[in-house]
């Protein structure tokens, strides 16, 4: 699914209106019918409804929904905020239709003073103040109204967007002045702001309603942001040649695990095998020898000259991909060896965890990273490398510009992991769940992406398939075990089922 900007949404609307063809007001009617259906599916017509409509098309939707709910027998109270004496054309038409229908008995057009109604626990508020057209944070009377709604015990359904949430850049927003919806019914496509964890309290549950915006126009519109879908993943899975042998199924090298963090190396190595690598060699401090051999007998263990840390860059001639960083440590000798290793490697690289922390401590080195490197930071690791960000939008923007500048692949991990490509595009991953918020989950991802690179997937494909597969394995594990008890090893155990599902 593409994520469009507000300007693109307006263009797509216009194209649909001109080419379907459908009148603008009929498109609003269609959207409102979908919104009404979603509301009536969850709340019976015993529920008292209070609708707050703004002056734009979001308000137009809200007025049409008010009429439809009233026709379906809901006791509906409606406030239309028209404080600058200007309504959008379709909003004005829906105001006239609402008055004409005579079903809504309690309709107030607010032009100056507003005496807010009592919002009780059983009441449903429909928030149609502002949607995708919001271009600045809410202030004044609207801010007070939002605070009033948020402070009430009523349930809130937001049309398209929680009012006050700007669809893209929320840097200057005032969080207190954004509606906290229980349910957001967004039209056609998700908005960028929905991808960010700090906006979840505003969105509540999210439903995307299909309002039949022109598919042809959406296909032809170039979007910077895309959310992965299963049908984009299935074609990526390479078929196994019946004559395959371990020598042509990819030889992965992992450099991981210092003293006390051997488990990170074990998790990455197991995940690397489960993701289909023909051979995995793990380079690790001598101390880890026995535990590696016992835990993953399939792997070749290559021992560093040091007992407890990685200090010795290795030749990558014989390997198809390198994954470096899980549990690596950040001592001086390890840092020096890491940089030497990154310079010396002549295969595709995934750098994670301590490899990124080391770079964060020595930022000058970041400029010298080999082109095409994949980095998989969680937000803290990313901030160590790039400085603190005020919010997720700023962090994502920095990741986009860094990926372009370095010609690198930055996979910013989170609930929606964001893969930032060297050409400026961003791909969000929808799989995965909160059960994966457990130590070692990231090490598993490193192992998976390293395996896919070794198998011959290009960087972008390895990241896309890798993060989707990782999240899907986590989802299958959570389905069986529940989120509370999930451990990183369970994600590994479910990689086979995830692969099977995607290969069906």
Ligand X SMILES: NC(=O)C1=CN([C@@H]2O[C@H](COP(=O)(O)OP(=O)(O)OC[C@H]3O[C@@H](n4cnc5c(N)ncnc54)[C@H](OP(=O)(O)O)[C@@H]3O)[C@@H](O)[C@H]2O)[C@@H](O)CC1
Other CB atoms within 10 A of residue 99 CB:
13
Q: Is 57 in the site for ligand X (CB under 6 A)?
A: yes
Partner that binds at residue 436, options K ion, ligand ADP, ligand X, none, CB closer than 5 to 8 Å by kind: ligand ADP
Q: Which range of residues in 25-33, 222-230, 258-266, 317-325 is near ligand X by CB under 6 A?
A: 25-33
- CA-based torsion, 422, 423, 426, 432: positive or negative: negative
**Residue (of 490, 491, 454, 486) closest to 469 by Cα position:** 491
Q: Is residue 56 within 8 Å of 88, Cβ to Cβ?
A: yes
Q: What are the C-alpha distances in Å from 137 to residues 24, 170, 172, 177, 178?
A: 27, 8, 7, 8, 8
Q: Is 415 annotated among the ligand-binding residues?
A: yes
Contacting residue, 353, 396, 418, 473, with ligand ADP by CB under 6 A: 353
Q: Is residue 419 within 8 Å of 467, Cβ to Cβ?
A: yes
Q: Which residues contact residue 450 at a Cβ distance below 8 angstroms, ignoring those fewer than 6 apart?
A: 252, 253, 254, 268, 272, 277, 321, 322, 323, 350
Nearest distance in Å: CB 59, ligand X: 6
Nearest distance in Å: CB 336, ligand ADP: 23
Distance CA 337, CA 258 (A): 13
Q: Is 436 in the site for ligand ADP (CB under 6 A)?
A: yes
Strand partners of residue 374:
350, 409
Partner that binds at residue 151, options ligand ADP, ligand X, K ion, none, CB closer than 5 to 8 Å by kind: none
Q: Is 434 in the site for ligand ADP (CB under 6 A)?
A: yes
Q: Is 58 in the site for ligand X (CB under 6 A)?
A: yes
Q: Is 378 in the site for ligand ADP (CB under 6 A)?
A: yes
Partner that binds at residue 261, options ligand ADP, K ion, ligand X, none, CB closer than 5 to 8 Å by kind: none
**Residue (of 170, 195, 171, 202) closest to 1 by Cα position:** 195
CB burial class (10 A; 0-12, 13-18, 19+) of residue 366? Answer: middle
Q: Is residue 180 within 8 Å of 162, Cβ to Cβ?
A: yes
Q: Which residues contact residue 194 at a Cβ distance below 8 angstroms, ignoring those fewer than 6 apart?
A: 184, 186, 203, 206
Q: Is 158 in the site for K ion (CB under 5 A)?
A: yes
Partner that binds at residue 158, options K ion, ligand ADP, ligand X, none, CB closer than 5 to 8 Å by kind: K ion
Q: Toward ligand ADP, which CB reaches closer, 174 or 434?
A: 434
Nearest distance in Å: CB 107, ligand ADP: 43
Q: Is 329 annotated among the ligand-binding residues?
A: no
Give the x-and-dash track for 162-191 against ligand X (CB under 6 A).
Answer: -------------------------xx---
Q: Is 445 in the site for ligand ADP (CB under 6 A)?
A: yes
Q: Is residue 369 within 8 Å of 342, Cβ to Cβ?
A: yes
The helix/strand/coil state of 124 is: strand
Other CB atoms within 10 A of residue 167 CB:
23
Q: Is 35 in the site for ligand X (CB under 6 A)?
A: no
Q: Is 170 annotated among the ligand-binding residues?
A: no
Q: Is 354 annotated among the ligand-binding residues?
A: no
From its phi and psi, is residue 329 left (phi > 0), alpha (psi between -120 and 50) or beta? left
Partner that binds at residue 430, options ligand ADP, K ion, ligand X, none, CB closer than 5 to 8 Å by kind: none
Q: Is 169 annotated among the ligand-binding residues?
A: no
Q: Toward ligand ADP, which CB reaches closer, 238 or 378?
A: 378
Residues in the chain, how many? Answer: 504
Q: Is 439 in the site for ligand ADP (CB under 6 A)?
A: yes
Strand partners of residue 255:
283, 324
C-alpha 137: how far from chain center: 23
Nearest distance in Å: CB 152, K ion: 16
Partner that binds at residue 136, options K ion, ligand ADP, ligand X, none, CB closer than 5 to 8 Å by kind: ligand X
For ligand ADP (CB under 6 A), the number of binding residues is 19
Nearest distance in Å: CB 128, K ion: 5
For K ion, the binding residues (CB under 5 A) are: 127, 131, 158-159, 163
Residues within the interface to ligand X (CB under 6 A): 9, 13, 27-28, 31, 54-61, 88, 130-138, 142, 159-160, 187-188, 211, 213
Write out the residues near ligand ADP by the rule CB under 6 A. Answer: 353, 378, 413-415, 417, 432-434, 436-437, 439-443, 445, 470-471
Binding region: 57-61, 127, 131-137, 160, 163, 264, 327, 378, 413-417, 442-443
């Amino acid at each position: 699914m593409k994520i469009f900007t507000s300007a693109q949404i307006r263009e797509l609307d216009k194209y649909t209106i001109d080419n379907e063809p459908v009148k603008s007001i009929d498109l609003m009617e269609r959207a409102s019918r979908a919104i009404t259906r979603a509301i009536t599916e969850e709340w019976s017509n015993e529920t008292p409804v209070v609708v707050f409509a703004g002056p734009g098309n979001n308000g137009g939707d809200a007025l049409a929904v008010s009429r439809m709910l009233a026709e379906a027998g809901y006791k509906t109270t409606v406030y239309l905020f028209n404080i600058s004496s200007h309504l959008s054309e379709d909003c004005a038409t829906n105001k006239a239709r609402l008055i004409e229908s005579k079903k809504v008995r309690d309709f107030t057009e607010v032009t100056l003073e507003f005496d807010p109604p009592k919002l009780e626990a059983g009441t449903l508020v429909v928030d149609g103040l502002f949607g995708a057209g919001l271009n600045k944070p809410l202030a004044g009377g609207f801010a007070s109204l939002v605070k009033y709604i948020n402070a009430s015990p009523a349930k809130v359904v937001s049309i398209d967007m929680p009012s006050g949430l700007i669809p893209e850049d929320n840097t200057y927003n005032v969080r207190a002045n954004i509606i906290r919806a229980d349910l957001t019914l967004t039209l056609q496509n998700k908005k960028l702001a929905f991808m960010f964890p700090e906006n979840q309290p505003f969105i509540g549950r999210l439903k995307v309603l299909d309002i039949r915006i022109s598919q042809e126009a959406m296909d032809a519109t170039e979007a910077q942001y895309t959310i992965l879908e299963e049908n984009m993943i299935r074609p990526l899975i390479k078929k196994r040649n019946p004559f395959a042998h371990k020598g042509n199924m990819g030889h992965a090298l992992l450099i991981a695990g210092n003293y006390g963090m051997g488990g990170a190396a074990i998790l990455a190595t197991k995940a690397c095998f489960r993701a289909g690598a023909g051979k995995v060699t793990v380079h690790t401090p001598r101390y880890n020898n026995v535990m590696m051999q016992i835990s993953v007998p399939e792997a070749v263990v290559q021992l560093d000259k040091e007992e407890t840390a990685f200090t010795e860059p290795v030749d990558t001639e014989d390997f198809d991909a390198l994954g470096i960083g899980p549990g690596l440590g950040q001592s001086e000798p390890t840092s020096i060896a890491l940089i030497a290793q990154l310079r010396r490697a002549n295969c595709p690289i995934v750098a994670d965890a301590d490899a990124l922390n080391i770079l964060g401590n020595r930022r000058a080195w970041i400029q010298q990273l080999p082109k095409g490197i994949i980095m998989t930071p969680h937000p803290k690791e990313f901030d160590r490398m790039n400085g603190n960000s005020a919010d997720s939008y700023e962090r994502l923007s920095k990741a986009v510009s860094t990926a372009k500048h370095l010609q690198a692949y930055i996979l910013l991990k989170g609930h929606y992991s964001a893969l930032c490509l060297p050409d400026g595009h961003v791909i969000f991953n929808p799989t995965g769940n909160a059960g994966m918020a457990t130590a070692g989950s990231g090490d598993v991802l490193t192992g998976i992406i390293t395996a896919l690179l070794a198998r011959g997937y290009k960087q972008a494909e390895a990241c896309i398939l890798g993060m989707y597969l990782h999240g899907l394995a986590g989802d299958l594990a959570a389905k069986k075990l529940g989120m509370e008890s999930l451990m990183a090893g369970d994600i590994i155990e479910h990689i086979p089922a995830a692969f099977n599902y995607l290969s069906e």
